[in-house]
């Protein structure tokens, strides 16, 4: 292998653990494509909400949603500022999928095996030529078990809720910290306890607790790990 070797970087962790920021910044620094797999589950959850296939309490019409899956296409569109917007059947839903009404129902939608199988297949297509950084819950365990670099990000529920709360307030949302903390803890529990691809650390993943780290410290830590993998592959 040589220096042009392209790898897959899988970054898994709890919601609002800062993994998307890390993943996006690494992808931009090394010229890889970034894929936010959580956005894909959010897009399916939005579809389900809009089609009346899930209620606001998160009760899903599972047969209805499974039957609709062939009609649900999720893709990403690169933006001039380097970000990528999520497309649901060609419609830019990037800001809608971040709303609390979607966060409130996404975990039960993401627990449905057929939803996972469909999105996993699309995610594997994105990684076919490697050169990709993908973040989520099961990227290192299920989507790309052969990823060359796997990171498992952890941070306390309080730290994560505080981060998410600040993001939502900056976007003009009127949620309270208590609501966000409740949503984070509820999602943690569903994501860890579902039968299909629950969130867990891959045996060969490197753990990172970033509760006390700045974004710059995280960037430096991650690029160091990335360079280490590239270096060891170029020697082999
Ligand atoms: O990372 P996020 O909060 O945007 O993820 C939204 C939801 O999607 C979350 O409840 C867990 C689920 N998810 C998943 O089950 N598997 C992934 N690879 C990514 C996200």
| pLDDT > 70? residue 2 | no
Closest residue (by CA) to atom 16 of ligand 1? 137
Q: Mean pLDDT across the stretch 4-28?
A: 92
User: What is the pTM for the complete model shown?
Assistant: 0.91
Q: What is the pLDDT of residue 26?
A: 97
Q: What is the pLDDT of residue 167?
A: 87
Assign residue 16 a region (left: φ > 0; alpha: ψ between -120 and 50; beta: otherwise).
left
Q: What is the pLDDT of residue 212?
A: 86
Q: How many beta carbons lie within 10 A of that of residue 225, not counting itself?
A: 16
Q: Which residues does 49 contact at the CB level (< 8 Å), separation at least 6?
A: 56, 101, 102, 105
| pLDDT > 80? residue 170 | yes
Of ligand 1's listed atoms, the one at least distance from the Cα of 139 is: 18
Mean pLDDT of the chain: 93
Tens of pLDDT, residues 112-165: 999 999 999 999 999 999 999 999 999 999 999 999 999 999 888 999 999 889
What's the pLDDT band for 1 if we cut at 50, 70, 90? very low
Cβ(107) – ligand 1 distance below 6 Å: yes
Q: What is the pLDDT of residue 55?
A: 96
Report how far ligand 1's centroid is from the alpha carbon of 123 (Å): 13
Most ligand 1 atoms within 8 A of CB, residue of 95, 118, 121, 136 to mutate: 136
Tens of pLDDT, residues 51-76: 999 999 999 999 999 999 999 999 99
Q: What is the dihedral of CA 182, 183, 189, 193, to 10 degrees?
A: 160
Q: Please report where in the chains the tokens 């709890």 appear, as a residue.
A: 14
Tens of pLDDT, residues 195-224: 998 898 999 999 999 888 999 999 999 999
| pLDDT > 80? residue 31 | yes
% of the chain at pLDDT higher than 70: 99
């Amino acid at each position: 292998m040589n220096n042009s070797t392209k790898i897959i970087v899988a970054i898994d962790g709890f919601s609002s653990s800062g993994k998307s920021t890390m993943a996006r910044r690494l992808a931009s620094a090394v010229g890889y494509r970034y894929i936010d797999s959580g956005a894909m589950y959010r897009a399916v959850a939005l579809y389900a909400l809009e089609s009346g296939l899930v209620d606001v309490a998160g009760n899903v019409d599972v047969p209805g949603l499974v039957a609709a899956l062939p009609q649900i296409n999720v893709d990403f569109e690169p933006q001039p500022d380097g970000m990528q917007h999520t497309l649901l059947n060609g419609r830019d839903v990037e800001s809608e999928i971040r709303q609390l009404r979607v966060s409130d129902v996404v975990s039960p939608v993401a627990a449905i095996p057929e939803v996972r199988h469909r999105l996993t297949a699309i995610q594997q297509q994105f990684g076919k030529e490697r050169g990709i950084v993908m973040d989520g819950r099961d990227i290192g365990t299920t989507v790309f078990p052969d990823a060359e670099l796997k990171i498992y990000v952890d941070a306390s529920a309080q730290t994560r809720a505080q981060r998410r709360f600040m993001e939502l307030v900056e976007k003009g949302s009127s949620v309270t910290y208590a609501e966000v903390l409740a949503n984070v803890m509820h999602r943690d529990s569903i994501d860890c306890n579902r039968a299909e691809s629950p969130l867990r650390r891959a045996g060969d993943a490197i753990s990172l607790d970033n509760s006390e780290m700045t974004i710059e410290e995280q960037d430096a830590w991650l690029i160091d790990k990335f360079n280490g993998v590239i270096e060891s592959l170029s020697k082999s």
